[in-house]
Amino acid sequence: DQQVKQNSPSLSVQEGRISILNCDYTNSMFDYFLWYKKYPAEGPTFLISISSIKDKNEDGRFTVFLNKSAKHLSLHIVPSQPGDSAVYFCAASEGPSGSRLTFGEGTQLTVNP
Amino acid sequence: EAQVTQNPRYLITVTGKKLTVTCSQNMNHEYMSWYRQDPGLGLRQIYYSMNVEVTDKGDVPEGYKVSRKEKRNFPLILESPSPNQTSLYFCASSGWVRGETQYFGPGTRLLVL
């Protein structure tokens, strides 16, 4: 039972354009959401997060949007750069054990020069 | 430098030969966790530990053991490895603060023949 789903295994965009990565979840108890980025031969690194009390969080070129009623979140990267090419994982946590994360399958983003 | 280290980075073994993957963090984090990454499945939690001598099963604990005798170390033990444990393994750690980001090690690629 995949509680966090990223339905697009891959996404390709042109440099300078917007990248939109999507994530859906089924567990209504999730109240904290994170995005991680992973380069080949490295471990995932934290990118941006959002609490369920917000619907938007912005950090430079990265913005995460949360739609609780739809159980959907998205990561926007504007403008996209070739160095953004990586696998992006959506993750969620619930309750007081904030460190226990449930991950999605990942989306491979390729930004073409 | 704050980091999570794993050893070995690559390992080829045969079915049934016990092995241990070590994990160490230098950030004095209470929380540590092991994940495996498989194609199309994302990152799945194997075991986690909230502090010394406190461990619990994650989503896919079968065939694995862990121990947390010291705060900085969290080894993953495969008593009798099988081919279905061929995977990419990540150790992670974080402080015990709600939503605090997890720091991941570089990964251990395991092949069980």
What's the pLDDT tens digit per position in B45-82?
Answer: 999 998 899 999 999 999 999 999 999 999 999 999 99
Q: Could you give the CA distance from residue B82 to residue B62 in angstroms, rounded to a whole number?
A: 11
Interval A29-43 mean pLDDT: 93
Whether residue A13 contacts residue A19, with contact meaning beta carbons closer than 8 Å, is answered with yes
Q: Flag if A42 and B106 touch (Cβ within 8 Å).
A: yes
Report yes or no: A95 at the B interface, CB cutoff 8 Å: no
H/E element, B9: none
Report yes or no: A99 at the B interface, CB cutoff 8 Å: yes
Which chain A residues are within 8 Å of B90, Cβ to Cβ? 43-44
* pLDDT surpasses 90 at A47: yes
Tell me the two tokens of residue A87. Answer: 């696998």
pLDDT score of A97: 52
Q: Reduce the DSSP state of residue B84 to 3 states and report it.
A: helix
Measured in angstroms, the CA of B17 and the nearest CA of chain A are apart by: 25
User: What percentage of chain B has pLDDT greater than the value 70?
Assistant: 96
pLDDT band per the 50, 70, 90 thresholds, residue A1: confident
CA distances from residue B29 to A88, A93, A98, B2 in whole angstroms, order as listed:
25, 18, 14, 11
Closest CA relative to residue A66, chosen from A106, A98, A104, A25: A25
Which chain A residues are within 8 Å of B99, Cβ to Cβ? 32, 34, 49, 51, 93, 98
Q: Flag if A99 and B107 touch (Cβ within 8 Å).
A: no
Of A51 and A24, the structure prediction assigns the larger pLDDT to: A24
Tell me the two tokens of residue A113. Answer: 């020069």
Q: Edge to edge, what strands does the sheet with A62-67 contain?
A: A4-5, A19-25, A72-77, A62-67, A56-59
Q: Flag if B98 and A89 touch (Cβ within 8 Å).
A: no
